[in-house]
Amino acid sequence: MMGDHMVLQQNSSVKLWGWADGKKVTVTTSWNNRTYKVTPDKDGAWLVKVDTPAGSYTPYSITISDGTRTTLSDILIGEVWICSGQSNMEMTMKGNMGQPIDHSLETLLNAGNYRDRIRFITVPRTKGVKERADFEGAKWEVSSPETTMDCSAAGYFFAKQLTETLHLPVGLVINSWGGSRIEAWMTEETLASVEGANIEAAKNPKLDTNSRLQCLYNIMLLPVKNYTARGFLWYQGESNIFNYQLYAPMMTAMVQLWRNVWEAPDMPFYYVQIAPHKYGNSRNINSALLQEAQMKALKTIPNSGMIPTIDVGDEFCIHPPQKNVVGLRLANLALTKTYGLHKLPSTGPMMTKVEYSGNKAIVTLDNAPYGLAPGNCELEGFEIAGADKKFYPAKARIAGRTRNVEVWSDQVTQPVAVRYAFRNYVDHITLRNTLGIAAFPFRTDTW
């Protein structure tokens, strides 16, 4: 995990660790010429905390000796983020077979200009499922056209915006696994705290490693748990549509577990609402129910945030190409909520209330300080229902220069419920704030 070219979290007391043959270990950091001494435990493991300065593009070194001297070089001090989830976080800048990444060519061509600004390490998969404290076969990579091809696209676009705004190096620790369920990222004890969770089903040995309870926690999370970071980025949920009812409490429990592991009870946790996709039938609402669960988790996870992707999905491909939009919106979320650099809305418009007047529903949204858009046309994706609970496609328009949307249908004389983009996939979704961040899907009913 530790190595040449890594990025350490600035203005912090970061952990360095390793193994030695029972001898005392000395660690010297070049930025302050300070030496730390530590004695390994009975198993040879050692860990020491070292103080880091404010971030900069200046390269430093760390010398470690237990009698044999090792020097880690070209170390940068900046901002570190942990990037986890399933395939949409894992998807690299070169794309998948038949599945491209938007703006990847120009980003790759310019990647060498970020060699002193973006570094990343990707935790490799393993066939085992038992706890591991370290991993082999991966190292810290310096941004270049060749290396960045294999970097998480969502992560890299996030880092690119972050370094351009903060003028600091950014390090990404990427530990994601395609198709993974959230249960695989937590312990059995943690899942047991979730009411209604089926422990035996979750740890069924017939499940794949990326779906089985605690497996990815053991082999993907524990190896990086000592690496001091600013926050977490999470892009997962598609594989938990089948048990969406439990998703909000499961994610809440998982976040608390991770924060306990990192000994950082308020560590930021920012995540991506899963994108629209047909999921068998575009008219069904099973993925919308998972998106709704992700929204509910905002209320139970302190210091969390979510970005919308309702406008960048693909009906026939579960891996939408617009990872540049995902990275930009995650960066904006971090820059507003964690770094407090500006007063722009941190995310997209969310429905806050609905009122009914005659045959119209008036929906109010927030996170749109300068108004909603587009204001010159009818909006797609709205449905409206009366007391019979039958939803009909609705007409909708932004009500003048307000944050209200008027919704109506000639087939519903007295509306009692409104839904927006509450299907697996809806075409022509355009409602957004004037900064271009899409509105979140919603429903006002609980039917």
Give me the pLDDT at residue 22, please.
75
Give me the pLDDT at residue 376, please.
85
Mean of pLDDT values over 298-304: 98
Residue 401, pLDDT above cutoff 90 = no
Could you tell me if 17 and 226 are in contact, meaning their C-beta atoms sit under 8 angstroms apart? yes
- From the list 47, 48, 71, 52, the residue with the least C-alpha distance to 9 is 52
Contacts of 432 (CB under 8 A, 6+ apart): 311, 348, 349, 372, 373, 438, 439
Residue 21, pLDDT above cutoff 90 = no
pLDDT by residue (tens digit) across 58-98? 999 999 999 999 999 999 999 999 999 999 999 999 999 99
Residue 402, pLDDT above cutoff 90 = no
Mean of pLDDT values over 158-181: 98
Residue 39 class from Cβ within 10 Å (0-12 exposed, 13-18 middle, 19+ buried)? exposed
Give me the pLDDT at residue 416, please.
98
Q: Are strands 360-365 and 372-373 parallel, antiparallel or unpaired?
A: unpaired
pLDDT by residue (tens digit) across 99-155? 999 999 999 999 999 999 999 999 999 989 999 999 989 999 999 999 999 999 999
Give, in degrees to the nearest 5, the angle at Cα 299 between 293 and 305.
Answer: 85
Q: Would you place residue 400 in the very low, low, confident or very high pLDDT band (cuts 50, 70, 90)?
A: confident
pLDDT by residue (tens digit) across 108-124? 999 999 999 999 999 99
pLDDT by residue (tens digit) across 223-280? 999 999 999 999 999 999 999 999 999 999 999 999 999 999 999 999 999 999 999 9
Mean of pLDDT values over 348-353: 98
**CA neighbours closer than 13 Å in the CB half-sphere of residue 278:** 5
Q: Would you place residue 173 in the very low, low, confident or very high pLDDT band (cuts 50, 70, 90)?
A: very high
Share of the chain above pLDDT 70, in %: 100
Q: Distance between CA 233 and CA 235 in Å, rounded?
A: 7
Question: Facing residues of 417 across strands?
Answer: 385
Mean of pLDDT values over 393-410: 95
Q: Are strands 395-398 and 442-443 parallel, antiparallel or unpaired?
A: unpaired
DSSP assignment of 30-69: TTTTEEEEE---TTSEEEEEEE--S-EEEEEEEEEESSSE
* Average per-residue pLDDT for the chain: 97
